[in-house]
């Protein structure tokens, strides 16, 4: 199984995706976000979803992958509801001058992120890896059908699943930068590494996913974690 190719988006270009469509976003608005009928229409930045030959919202990979930063996650990493230039992997790439590979997949379960990480570790011996872990109660039944929930987010099986995925990959590769989507993780103890947290400061066009004001402090924390040189960037 090749987890580094997402077969459903190969070489596609589109203007909406998943939760980022005016027909589906009325129920997505989180507390503090503007009404979606206003926010979606008046969002000031153009958004295009362009996918590579591997099916990810990124640019084609360089020939040499020795020094790249692998960015794993779900739609918050892909950057649903925001321009490509507002995604945290792109901002990190701009501010560090390190090639950052965006492997964000809509609806990705943590078991899928584990499998992607294991393939990268096996094939590329990565120097830098960042995982923005997904919702604890998200599952998948087969490689690409993963929007399936078992119980609520505090269910003991959900917590056990998260701990297994988290500890397994962090045992395989030291110094991973671990964070999560914006969700309560107070029930996650006995993890084998630090789980970095951040404040949710803004929302994208869909009223659910964060935008660049939230992404920038995440990037600052990552740069500090890996001791990258910082290059100033203004959006």
**235 domain-assigned:** no
Collapsed DSSP state (helix, strand, coil) of residue 32:
coil
Asked if residue 234 is part of any domain, the answer here is no
How many CB atoms are closer than 10 A to CB 33? 15
Q: Is 7 part of any domain?
A: no
3-state secondary structure 120-185: HHHHHCCCEEEEEECCCCEECCECCECCEECCCCCCHHHHHHHHHHHHHHHHHCCCCEEEECCCCC
Q: Is residue 232 part of a domain?
A: no
For residue 139, tell me if it sits in a domain.
Answer: yes
pTM: 0.92
Q: How many CB atoms lie within 10 A of CB 176?
A: 21
Mean pLDDT of 14-25: 84
Domain range for 71: 13-226
Q: Would you say residue 124 has pLDDT above 70? A: yes
* 49 assigned to some structural domain: yes
Q: Is residue 135 part of a domain?
A: yes
Instruction: Specify the pLDDT at position 147.
Output: 54
Give residue 79's pLDDT: 98
Q: Quick one: average pLDDT of 148-154?
A: 62
CA–CA gap between residue 100 and residue 34 (Å, rounded): 31
Give the C-alpha separation, 51 to 157, whole Å.
34
Q: Domain of 52: which CATH number?
A: 3.40.50
Q: How many domains does the chain have?
A: 1
27's CB contacts (< 8 A; 6+ apart) are none
pLDDT digits (tens, 9 = 90+) for 22-34: 876 554 555 445 5
In a domain, 69, yes or no: yes
Q: Give percent of the chain above pLDDT 70.
A: 87
Could you tell me which residues are beta bridge partners of residue 17?
20
């Amino acid at each position: 199984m090749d987890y580094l190719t997402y077969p459903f988006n190969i070489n596609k270009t589109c203007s909406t995706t998943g939760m980022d469509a005016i027909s589906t976003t009325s129920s997505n608005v989180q507390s503090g976000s503007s009404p979606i009928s206003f926010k979606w229409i008046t969002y000031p930045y153009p958004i295009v979803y362009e996918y590579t030959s591997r099916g990810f919202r990124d640019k084609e990979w360089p020939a040499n992958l020795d020094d790249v930063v692998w960015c794993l996650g779900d739609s918050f990493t892909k950057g649903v509801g925001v321009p490509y230039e507002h995604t945290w992997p792109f901002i990190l790439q701009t501010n560090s001058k390190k090639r950052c590979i965006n492997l964000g997949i809509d609806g990705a379960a943590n078991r899928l992120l584990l499998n992607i990480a294991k393939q990268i570790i096996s094939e590329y011996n990565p120097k830098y890896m960042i995982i923005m872990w997904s919702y604890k109660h998200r599952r998948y039944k087969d490689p690409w059908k993963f929007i399936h929930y078992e119980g609520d987010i505090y269910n003991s099986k959900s917590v056990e699943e998260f701990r297994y995925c988290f500890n397994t990959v962090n045992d395989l590769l030291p110094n991973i930068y671990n964070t999560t989507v914006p969700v309560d993780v107070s029930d996650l103890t006995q993890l084998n590494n630090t789980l970095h947290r951040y404040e949710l400061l803004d929302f994208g066009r869909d009223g659910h996913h964060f935008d660049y004001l939230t992404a920038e402090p995440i990037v600052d924390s990552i740069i500090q974690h890996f001791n990258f040189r910082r290059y100033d960037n203004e959006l």
